[in-house]
Amino acid sequence: MAVDLSGQLAVVTGGTRGVGLAIAQALQAAGADVRTFSRSGGVDVADPEAVESAVTGLGPVDLLVNNAGTFDAIGPVWSADPDAWHGDLQTSVLGAFHCSRALLPGMIERGRGRIVNVSSGAATRPYPYGSGYAAGKAALLSFTETLAAETQEHGVAVFAITPGFVWTAMTERLRDASGPAPDISGADPVEPERAGELVLRLASGEADALSGRFIHVRDDLDELLSR
């Protein structure tokens, strides 16, 4: 199904590479005006002042995709670097909080808007040697459920998705790690474009009934909606 997002303004965090780039490109191809927030572009989403500065004068945002994430703390908890561990947690959770807090007032005022939080399968199972990343993605699921409940009466839909295992610079670091690292030997890679396709369908509004849910790119969205 072709999705037309002409006239919509979308913000994608971490949108300059990997899964975020694929999502941004899919939204642009559908006609959306896409703005990307990234550290390389001068916006650290874990910094509330940087986020507030980035949204100033941006105009009414229809879609926010909280995709930014880091995976710098690789290894057992007892030898983890605290700054790296905190950073992994903060980018996922504080980044989503700061961006949502900055853009939700406009969505609520207009009575419409959508937020997509990019989580991970690591949030729902033991994830040895990646505890900071997994904890951040798990917290993002709880944040999604709560935010969906808070915004339901205001016409805003909030989703969490997982793009599956995608080969990116981040996952290549796991493969090349010199010490203990999450085991990715049995991973079944997914193309990053699948995440873009899913976000497009969520952005269209057809799946608003699934607000608050955690959706995998390999899920059958039509079947989920039928239930």
Q: Is 133 a catalytic residue?
A: yes
Residue 219 scores a pLDDT above 70 = yes
The active-site residue, picked from 133, 143, 159, 214, is 133
CA pair distance 155, 113, nearest whole angstrom: 7
Whole-number Cα distances in Å, 106 to 51, 57, 64, 149, 155: 15, 12, 12, 18, 12
Task: Find the mean pLDDT for residues 107-126.
Answer: 97
- φ/ψ (deg, to 5) at 93: -90, -55
Q: If you average pLDDT over residues 15-28, what whole number do you get?
A: 97
pLDDT in tens, 70-83: 999 999 999 999 99
> Which of the four pLDDT bands, split at 50, 70 and 90, describes residue 2?
confident
Note whether 32 and 5 are within 8 A (CB): yes
Percent of the chain predicted with pLDDT > 90: 94
User: Taking a C-beta distance cutoff of 8 angstroms, is the pair 41, 217 a contact?
Assistant: no
Query: What is the average pLDDT across 19-45?
Result: 97
| Predicted pLDDT at 135 | 97
Determine contact, residues 23/117, Cβ cutoff 8 Å: no
C-alpha to C-alpha distance for 88 and 224, rounded to whole angstroms: 31
Domain 9-226, CATH class in plain words: alpha beta
- Tell me the per-residue pLDDT of 154-204, one tens digit each, with 9 for 90 and over: 999 999 999 999 999 889 989 898 899 999 988 999 999 999 999 999 999
What mean pLDDT is predicted for residues 9-32?
Answer: 97
pLDDT by residue (tens digit) across 48-69?
999 999 999 999 999 999 999 9
The confidence band for 1, taking pLDDT boundaries of 50, 70 and 90, is low
119: helix, strand or coil: coil
Residue 51 near residue 75, CB atoms below 8 Å:
no
